[in-house]
Chain A
């Protein structure tokens, strides 16, 4: 219990301390982020890989309203907790290239957001989950709107109103569930054991699903995403794409499937169709993008589409694939955005046409970028392959046709990612890229770490799969059992 509380509140304490430091904010926030990573690793190694909830903290909070500070970690949580605490130090290190104005506030907001995210990923109480959900949103809004690029105010207002609209309806759903159970609390287990009729399940499904779908985003709730990703400062984009969208996926698995399985069964087909439309649609748009950052943003929509299709296939392979892919996608997309940021910081553009031949002047960057791109396009032997393979297997077990269309994501992805790589890195150097310097210092550290993770998880994913297997299986059993009733 103490470990868990420390895990959640360490970044918050870090945020408060960082807020009162001046120029040294960078270093102090790095120290806290690395300490959190260490803590997460300790938790991962002492975690017993079964279906139980461990490190549980269950403290009274607002007793009159049946709200408790109830958090815990099972296999599913552990994976996203690891992802969060792995990526935050990487993201902070990757910002060393830039001198952000008012660094104390910048890094404090990142750490504050980390606390919110960890709360979301460990909450076992629906109210606590909601608090974390919003607590993660406010800092990222400020990060994007203060340090973002052009037109940031309008873009981020759209992003904010979109997401808050979703979460307010989720709040309504949560209140409804609270009123439905006779114990009048928000506890996950109580909500799991609710017996709602199909109509109720349908409504609750939509109340939750829209919030999650906006966050991920699933077509047609994605319209905020490309603009926000493009205009945000790179650490903001990384937080959004690497970790924040996993809130939506995690929410689907933890809160939507087990609470309203019949709703999921009724509407799951529609969601899979939407996801597949999203895959094809986002891939096609990615083809036409001239800006590499935008291209990656659209590719992210395609990847997330496949993950949600895998989840709604409601089988072990799809779910396990989703778990692995959450981690892989987080690592890969952060790597991609970092490479683009390095390019941008040197030549001040991410326009694919204006670049070329960087491989000649920066061979090391070319190699790591290639590894990350290959991970993203799911080449066997990289981390992306394991996730996408399991996801496609899951979708295949659901329907061959769905898998056939969803499989396009791999082909499309390979085409547009490799074409982007070709145009940016290969070919002749031009006046812009001739003076390009290779990666050094923290850039090397971050990118090599990412590459090692991509390859290691690709070659030997077993420990990872083992970590989540029991919990995923247990969750699916629970869902199936409820469906049979």
Chain B
């Protein structure tokens, strides 16, 4: 609860600071606010407090809150010169991102489905505006409109689902829904099943899983890169936490029923994400499709529900978040310098910018899942989880997809180190370096010694 309050107050303070044109104070203020919120997550650790029956700050919620807050802080550090160059209303960007974060904290800690809906909407509405924040830019407008229409559409599915489940169980509360399923295994109301499916569709839209992924590439490509970073990392993590809280928690007794459509979604997501990413010439679009494929790997955790499902998602989502932040940060730098986000603009980057290129290489290795990076541990946990029920074919399918992944992630590495290019020297601000180094450090530490977050939840 303290976390949400802190973040919201920070958001308002930032708004007022903007009103008084204190642009220099925005970033320090935000970072202090976020660090305070992070402090509260540590403070509340092991507390398992329930707030008014609506939210439960168990360790699962706190761990994901922490990942979201750290991710958002890093993204804020990347804002230097980014928004400033583009608009006067910087405070509004900050505020919207903060509100969106507050929504996400609700999404990872809800105990009541009404809270899920409220959190999701607070997050999404902020994002609709952020996607279209470049008022004069055609692509940005298109992204915003597409995102809004698709988002509203998917929220519809989610609400229908919630309604049907309420109709069947008479409650929004996750524990009561689970208790209903456990106590009436034979006489579950027939409207409960479509409710589950509708909610699955709604959440699949939000996390960008196929076949509900069509909005992702266009929105990711059209939005300002920094907002894309935010959407494809932190927002996605929160979406998965919400997914997991519902399906691994309340709906767990019905696992046999919903696992079949889930496997279909997983296979489609992996296949479409990877194969389409292979053909992209644009780095940003490639990342968008690769984010779809990562959604597929993340959903692996739900195919077999075990005590490790939650920590697997935590590891995978952190690995993916920090690697993607590196990728997007470098993309922003390259685009500022060359004006293009095609693979060709990365040619020869390693010669003049060894640090940046090295960081991006680590990020790509992590996304591809090479040992000693966090991405490998994430993939390993997912495969381990599914092998637990000997779904060997599914793992073999995922491995083939991972192979395709190697190919397109290495395209960037090949361009940076092995190809000759214009040898541009990037202007890398100190804050970017800080973000890159922190993210690389997290990626490698999690890869070498994942025990530090494995038994958190």
Contact = CB atoms under 8 A, between A and B. Distances in A.
Interface of A: 61-65, 130-131, 134-135, 138, 142, 145-146, 152-153, 157, 160-161, 164-165, 168-169, 171-172, 175-176, 178-179
A138 B403 CA distance: 15
B417 A146 contact: yes
Given A64-B451, A179-B388, A164 B403 contact: yes
B417 A171 contact: no
B451 A172 contact: no
Interface residues of B, number: 28
A160 B387 contact: no
A457 to B, nearest CB: 35
A152 B418 CA distance: 9
Given A131-B372, A172-B399, A164 B383 contact: no
A359 B418 CA distance: 38
A175 B450 CA distance: 17
A172 B403 contact: no
B138 interface: no
B371 interface: yes
A142 B454 CA distance: 31
B414 A157 contact: yes
Interface in B361-396: 365, 370-372, 380, 383-384, 387-388, 390, 392, 395-396
The 9 closest A-B pairs by CB, nearest first: A134-B371, A64-B454, A168-B399, A175-B387, A131-B371, A62-B451, A64-B455, A145-B418, A153-B418
Contact of B406 (A65, A146, A164, A178): A164
Contacts of A142: 417
B100 to A, nearest CB: 33
Given A134-B371, A153-B414, A172-B387, A161 B407 contact: yes
Contacts, number: 69
B176 interface: no
B372 A161 contact: no
16 contacts: A62-B450, A63-B451, A64-B454, A134-B370, A138-B365, A138-B370, A145-B414, A145-B417, A168-B399, A168-B402, A169-B396, A169-B399, A172-B383, A175-B380, A175-B387, A176-B392
Contacts of A178: 384
B419 interface: yes
A150 B414 CA distance: 14
Nearest to A152: B418
Interface in B389-430: 390, 392, 395-396, 399, 402-403, 406-407, 410, 414, 417-419
Contacts of A61: 449, 451
Contacts of B406: 160-161, 164
A172 B392 CA distance: 8
A135 B449 CA distance: 15
A142 B402 CA distance: 20
A67 to B, nearest CB: 9
Given A145-B417, A161-B407, A164-B406, 20 more contacts: A62-B449, A62-B454, A64-B451, A64-B454, A64-B455, A134-B371, A135-B371, A138-B365, A142-B417, A145-B418, A146-B417, A153-B418, A157-B410, A157-B414, A161-B403, A168-B399, A169-B399, A175-B380, A175-B383, A176-B387
A142 B449 CA distance: 25
A306 B220 CA distance: 55
Interface of B: 365, 370-372, 380, 383-384, 387-388, 390, 392, 395-396, 399, 402-403, 406-407, 410, 414, 417-419, 449-451, 454-455
Contacts of B388: 179
B430 to A, nearest CB: 21
Contacts of A130: 371
B316 to A, nearest CB: 14
Contacts of A175: 380, 383-384, 387, 395
B401 to A, nearest CB: 10
Contacts of B395: 172, 175
A138 B364 CA distance: 13
A206 B208 CA distance: 36
Contacts of B417: 142, 145-146
Contacts of A171: 380, 383, 399
A138 B409 CA distance: 14
Contacts of A165: 403
B154 to A, nearest CB: 34
A247 to B, nearest CB: 15
A172 B396 contact: yes
Contacts of B365: 138
A406 to B, nearest CB: 34
A168 B403 contact: yes
B91 to A, nearest CB: 43
Contacts of B450: 62
A62 B370 CA distance: 17
A130 B372 CA distance: 11
Contacts of A157: 407, 410, 414
A140 B431 CA distance: 33
A439 B402 CA distance: 48
